[in-house]
């Protein structure tokens, strides 16, 4: 039997053509739905067996073919990529199937380049000293769930700005709930010779900036609120709204699942306009893939990564290329 291949974007016209040309000798062996590019138009590749000796009954009826096509449609993803191939690439690359499709990382194609192109377009990095503020001193407010490393990170950032940019910082803490929280920031303040103010009532916030005459930057260390407690987040914002201009920074630890990061982003985003992000505890995870996927789906700009408990040393300012290397996409 001779096997021929027919490509057509319209299945019906292809089948009509096959019938016209080969008549009863044609046997439909396989129909594949294909796409050359992920976003390109799909087409059908039909394998037709032509056998002079076959009986006419071998020609599939259009109805049967349509059923076969439906099954086929269900078997392939909407983008024409076989699910098991995606699954394999997902295992190999550490990225989710959903992400791979978005990044147009089609199996067999040069998937690394596809993801690299996608990520270089999506990931954004800004150094803390390049964040634009409308007033002085510049106030960063670190927000995020309890224990992600907000206090430690505030101290690291202040240390970096002092050592690398010759800029002074001060700390404000409204973390008065957790035992030891005030002591922790005071210790860092003492070690770096930077002032610390503790705020217990919203109105205290109003004049607090006047207490830092030498500071270029202020880090507001917040109590680690459970992001599900919206009322408490609103209360925290009430404190902050006493000062004119401040920039919230979402801090999440790299050990969270992507869905957990999305949820936290969503909850904090209900109250705060989140533009900046810090990924903490990158030293505690084997892979940064979920964090990178999360970042690619948001417009968050990365201020820094943290990778250990040492203050101020365990702080990094990665470039897109650094992050590509971290997730196994090195050139």
Site string for ligand GDP, 222-251 (x = CB under 6 A): --x---------------------------
Q: Is 298 an interacting residue with respect to Mg ion (CB under 5 A)?
A: no
Q: Is 314 an interacting residue with respect to ligand GDP (CB under 6 A)?
A: yes
Name which of 104 and 225 has its Cβ closer to Mg ion. Answer: 225
| Partner whose binding site includes residue 312, from Mg ion, ligand GDP, none (CB under 5 to 8 Å by kind) | none
Stretch that binds Mg ion, among 110-118, 150-158, 189-197, 322-330 (CB under 5 A): 150-158
Placement of tokens 């820094």 in the chain: 304
For the bound state, the minimum distance from the C-beta of residue 271 to ligand GDP, rounded and expressed in Å, comes to: 17
Beta pairing class for 124-125 and 196-198 = unpaired
Stretch that binds ligand GDP, among 22-30, 50-58, 62-70, 148-156 (CB under 6 A): 148-156
- Stretch 28-57 residues interacting with ligand GDP (CB under 6 A): none
| Partner whose binding site includes residue 289, from ligand GDP, Mg ion, none (CB under 5 to 8 Å by kind) | none
- Stretch 256-295 residues interacting with Mg ion (CB under 5 A): none
Please give the Cα distance from 100 to 97 (Å, whole number): 5
Q: Is 117 an interacting residue with respect to ligand GDP (CB under 6 A)?
A: no
Q: How many residues bind Mg ion (CB under 5 A)?
A: 2
Nearest to 278 by CA among 256, 296, 254: 254
For the bound state, the minimum distance from the C-beta of residue 247 to ligand GDP, rounded and expressed in Å, comes to: 18
Residue 88 · residue 107 · CB < 8 Å: yes
Q: Is 253 an interacting residue with respect to Mg ion (CB under 5 A)?
A: no
Beta pairing class for 301-306 and 138-143 = unpaired
- Stretch 279-298 residues interacting with ligand GDP (CB under 6 A): 280-281, 283-284
Q: Is 87 an interacting residue with respect to ligand GDP (CB under 6 A)?
A: no
Please give the Cα distance from 131 to 128 (Å, whole number): 6
Q: Is 151 an interacting residue with respect to Mg ion (CB under 5 A)?
A: yes
Please give the Cα distance from 282 to 289 (Å, whole number): 11
Placement of tokens 């080969």 in the chain: 22
Name which of 247 and 254 has its Cβ closer to ligand GDP. Answer: 254
Q: Is 148 an interacting residue with respect to ligand GDP (CB under 6 A)?
A: yes
Name which of 93 and 306 has its Cβ closer to Mg ion. Answer: 306
Q: What angle do CA 304, 198, 178 make, to 5 degrees?
A: 75
Q: What angle do CA 117, 122, 127 make, to 5 degrees?
A: 115
Interface contacts to Mg ion, rule CB under 5 A: 150-151
Interface contacts to ligand GDP, rule CB under 6 A: 146-152, 224, 280-281, 283-284, 306-309, 314
């Amino acid at each position: 039997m001779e096997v021929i291949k027919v490509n057509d974007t319209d299945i019906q016209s292809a089948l009509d053509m096959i019938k016209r040309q080969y008549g009863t000798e044609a046997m439909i062996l396989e129909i594949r739905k294909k796409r050359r590019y992920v976003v390109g138009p799909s087409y059908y590749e039909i394998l037709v067996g032509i056998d002079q000796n076959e009986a006419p009954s071998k020609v599939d009826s259009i109805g049967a073919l349509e059923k076969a096509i439906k099954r086929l449609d269900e078997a392939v993803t909407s983008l024409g990529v076989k699910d098991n191939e995606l699954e394999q690439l997902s295992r190999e690359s550490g990225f989710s199937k959903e992400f791979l499709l978005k990044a147009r990382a089609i199996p067999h194609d040069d998937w690394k380049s596809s993801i690299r192109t996608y990520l270089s377009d999506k990931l954004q990095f800004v150094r803390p000293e390049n964040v634009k503020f409308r007033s002085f001193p510049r106030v960063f407010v670190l927000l995020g769930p309890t224990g992600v490393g907000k206090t430690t990170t505030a101290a690291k950032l202040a240390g970096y700005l002092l050592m690398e940019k010759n800029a002074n910082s001060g700390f404000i803490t409204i973390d008065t709930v957790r035992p030891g929280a005030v002591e922790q920031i005071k210790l860092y303040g003492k070690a770096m010779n930077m002032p610390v103010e503790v705020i217990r009532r919203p109105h205290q916030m109003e004049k607090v900036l006047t207490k830092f005459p030498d500071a270029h930057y202020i880090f507001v260390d917040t109590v680690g609120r459970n992001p599900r407690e919206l009322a408490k987040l609103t209360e925290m914002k009430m404190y902050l709204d006493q000062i004119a201009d401040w920039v919230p920074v979402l801090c999440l630890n790299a050990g969270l699942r992507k869905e957990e990061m999305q949820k936290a982003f969503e909850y904090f985003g209900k109250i705060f306009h989140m533009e900046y992000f810090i990924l903490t505890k990158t030293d505690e995870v084997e892979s940064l893939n979920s964090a990178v996927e999360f970042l690619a789906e948001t417009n968050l700009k990365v201020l820094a990564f943290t990778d250990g408990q040492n203050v101020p040393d365990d702080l990094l300012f990665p470039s897109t290329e650094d992050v590509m290397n971290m997730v196994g996409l090195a050139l």
